[in-house]
Structure 1
């Protein structure tokens, strides 16, 4: 049953994580650690999913789905399964103070700019093969789209919808983020490495090998862009110092993560692990000494998500996965099983 999330949000407070030390072992209970739990499930249409994002201006959750962008009004819980059309959507990112929605279309190779009021397409830009993750670089004002199918990073002017340039970056591009100074860091899933890119010059600066990391996907910059967190499919998060380019820490999380979700106001980063069915909470209050401070049971399949910075509530799309009939294709979501898990901090007594 759909819930009025506004009422839920107003009743929730957050427990701040206590200072912690570095650790590469699985998380043990930490005194003073935040306590989270799945408090609701928002059902949606059948199909696959990828990245999610919260627009705090409009109070809306977007989820990139197989054939559409799904939208959820977080005040009322109203779900619009087909807010905007898509063909194998990967990113659904609110930009321009929430007035526009950016969608990357894996099948068509297009990046779409969508009116957030009507859901109508404003412009389409051919960015490369299989466009996937995307972000807005605040130093240049450009939209940055990763195209793993063509080994390129596309830069788009969001005002004119013009393709500014494409930067060659081989190795299986996944998530990326800008450092606020014109450089970006991008995970290379196939190379098990991290790339630093100069967005202003349009050049690949360097790559950093992520030893012990198999298939880095989710990424986040923390500590004033002094550290890069990369979520690896083999159940670890690597931490790289951006100044030296050195791997300085490795944290154990659940198997099969596909995102790193940062809640800056609460000093936490979250890693949802789809194979393990867990959500790892990492204290980022001291970027030089990170530690997993809580492991929250969720549901298998929950590997991406987003946080509402206003409340600290997380939203994780998932479904019950069933093996393909021939045993070789990817598992598929069971009919009627897609939900968005609502993971909220427990109230402080």
Structure 2
């Protein structure tokens, strides 16, 4: 359940958040709507297919699906081997990445039928759409595998280097990729299949999640160390470096409101970054969630946010462990 601690208390108690101040307590944009039990097991990225009204969650053993209309849960639509990402493609197709088998699975979303199993680089992680293709970030190998879903084939690779995390694509053929172990954001020319630039991320240790607001051209990177870096995608100019919370692993774009939502699993908060008239983001709210909620997805139709997590416990000085039977989807709804 959500903690009853006040927003201002969360701000003061969370490491690195004291500078934001208690003023954020006045306007809480989200409240808890539900907690949906799911089977035990590891999870990673989540994604929403707004057209099909479905939520996908990458799990250790496959792909979990929640029907956003009926609430029907399908614990394992298609099996996988430590699935990291699920990308709905539209037209009843989706792609998932399998970190243990170094493959990507193209499957039918209606029944989970596997249409193709395609080889990737080592430890395929995030997966994004890229100019009609699918781009898979090979986290351990440090390259990008390109897939043509229509041909059901791998059509190329792009060498980047480093531990690749999430990526975002613009309308000019540029793919932006966070490199976790180098604290940089790499700009890739997708048509030319070449690295164009390597941009340092100041005050950022362990860049993970990434999102681009196409309307403003603003990129936001989440750093696991407790900061977010906002950058102008076109020229690499750093717009802001902001304290959020520790343990972030995703940036969720709320395109309708031009906001970035960052779930911070270590501190159990959701940082809300809103853009001003110039497109410069600022932290405008810190919403209590639950420890462990580090990834998630937003339903653009309802505005609800879905955060996979579990209840964690453990002795002091040791890494907390999930309590068996406590895995769930935390659902936040916007406050009207």
Alignment TM-score, normalising by the size of structure 2: 0.90
Distance 1:230 1:319 in 2: 25
**Displacement, 1:30?**
4.9
* Equivalenced residues, count: 319
Distance 1:223 1:290 in 2: 14
Distance 1:45 1:316 in 2: 15
2:89 pairs, out of 68, 90, 95, with: 95
Tell me the equivalent position of 2:224.
233
SS at match of 2:87: strand
Output one character per residue of 1:223-242: Cα deviation in whole Å (capped at 9) or x when no partner: 53622110001111001222
RMSD: 2.1
| CA separation of 1:58 and 1:319: change in aligned 2, threshold 3 A | same
Q: Does 1:107 align with 2:100?
A: yes
Distance 2:102 2:39 in 1: 24
Tell me the equivalent position of 2:183.
192
Paired residues of 1:179 and 1:225 also in contact (CA < 8 A)? no
Distance 1:90 1:219 in 2: 15
SS at match of 1:171: coil
| CA separation of 1:144 and 1:314: change in aligned 2, threshold 3 A | same
Q: Does 1:42 align with 2:42?
A: no
Tell me the equivalent position of 1:252.
243
Q: Does 1:133 align with 2:126?
A: yes
1:334 pairs, out of 316, 323, 326, with: 323
Paired residues of 2:42 and 2:60 also in contact (CA < 8 A)? yes
Distance 2:321 2:145 in 1: 31
The aligned runs of 1:88-237 (5 Å cut-off) are 88-97=82-91, 99-137=92-130, 140-224=131-215, 226-237=217-228
Paired residues of 2:220 and 2:260 also in contact (CA < 8 A)? no
**Displacement, 1:68?**
1.4
**Displacement, 1:331?**
4.9
**Displacement, 1:25?**
3.6
Tell me the equivalent position of 2:305.
314
Mind listing any 5+ residue stretches in structure 1 that lack a counterpart?
Answer: 1-22
**Displacement, 1:248?**
2.5
Q: Give runs of ≥4 in structure 1 deviating > 6 Å.
A: none
Distance 1:31 1:133 in 2: 34
| CA separation of 1:223 and 1:29: change in aligned 2, threshold 3 A | farther
Paired residues of 1:222 and 1:284 also in contact (CA < 8 A)? no
Mind listing any 5+ residue stretches in structure 2 that lack a counterpart?
Answer: 1-16
Distance 2:79 2:331 in 1: 25
Paired residues of 2:24 and 2:286 also in contact (CA < 8 A)? no
Alignment TM-score, normalising by the size of structure 1: 0.87
Tell me the equivalent position of 2:332.
343
SS at match of 1:266: coil
Structure of greater relative contact order (alpha carbons < 8 Å, 6+ residues apart): 1
SS at match of 1:132: strand
Distance 2:22 2:274 in 1: 13
1:71 pairs, out of 42, 61, 65, with: 65
Tell me the equivalent position of 2:78.
84
Tell me the equivalent position of 2:263.
272
